[in-house]
């Protein structure tokens, strides 16, 4: 039983450390970005790929801005540049979106760190485990498949819990006997 407890504590610690690291990196890159806006240099440009990966990991999606420029002879050109691809562009609309995305990512990582120590989060995760797994695999949270699998999961978990409650001593004896068969 102690080993199981240690296992869960290690999982909690790893989750907390990973999200703390991402939170700290995000705050650090935000400070570097604000410095870059005051004094552009190549050092910040070298970090742009890591910044985009950090933002995407937080679930922050890329967005586009509309750019309209005169090209001469009464003609204009419109384009829709990606914010992530133009992270180092110092245009007011892009800078505003980049700052917004940084602050959203910081909030996401702070929230994930707090989830680690929140028992309600872990209870909810256990109750809705199939939904989380299938959503991770790309199944839409609104799909009928998730709802069916979730109901089956609840029925199986309730049945197993009921059986364990009724036959606890028999199950413990069976497990001890089985484990002792492996002992030298």
Of the pLDDT bands very low, low, confident and very high (cuts 50, 70, 90), residue 5 is confident
The residue ranges of every structural domain in the chain are 2-62+90-118, 128-184
Q: What is the pLDDT of residues 50-101, one digit of tens each?
A: 999 999 999 999 888 877 777 777 777 777 888 888 888 888 888 999 999 9
State CA 13 to chain mean position distance.
Answer: 16
Helix (H) or strand (E) holding 97: helix 92-116
SS3 content of the chain, % helix, strand, coil (to 5): 70, 5, 25
**pTM: predicted TM-score of the whole model, two decimal places:** 0.75
Q: What is the pLDDT of residues 139-171, one digit of tens each?
A: 888 888 888 999 999 999 999 888 888 888 888
To the nearest whole percent, how much of the chain has pLDDT over 90? 43
The count of residues in the chain is: 184
Q: Are 104 and 60 in contact (CB under 8 A)?
A: yes
pLDDT higher than 90, residue 33: yes
Average pLDDT, the chain: 88
Q: Are 149 and 128 in contact (CB under 8 A)?
A: no
| Whole-number Å distance between alpha carbons of 106 and 89 | 21
């Amino acid at each position: 039983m102690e080993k199981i407890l240690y296992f869960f504590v290690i999982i909690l610690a790893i989750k907390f450390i990973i999200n703390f690291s991402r939170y700290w990196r995000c705050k650090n890159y935000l400070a570097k970005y604000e410095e870059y806006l005051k004094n552009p240099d190549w050092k910040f440009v070298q970090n742009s790929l890591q910044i985009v990966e950090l933002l995407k990991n937080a679930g922050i999606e890329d967005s586009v801005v509309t750019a309209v420029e005169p090209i001469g002879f009464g003609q204009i050109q419109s384009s829709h540049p990606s914010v992530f691809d133009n992270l180092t562009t110092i245009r007011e609309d892009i800078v505003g979106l980049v700052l917004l995305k940084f602050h959203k990512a910081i909030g996401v990582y702070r929230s994930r760190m707090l989830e680690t120590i929140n028992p309600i989060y872990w209870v909810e995760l256990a109750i809705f485990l199939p939904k989380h797994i299938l959503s991770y695999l790309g199944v839409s949270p609104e799909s009928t498949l998730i709802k069916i699998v979730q109901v089956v999961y609840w029925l199986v978990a309730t049945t197993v819990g009921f059986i364990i409650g009724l036959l606890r001593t028999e199950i413990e004896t069976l497990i001890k006997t089985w484990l002792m068969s492996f002992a030298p």
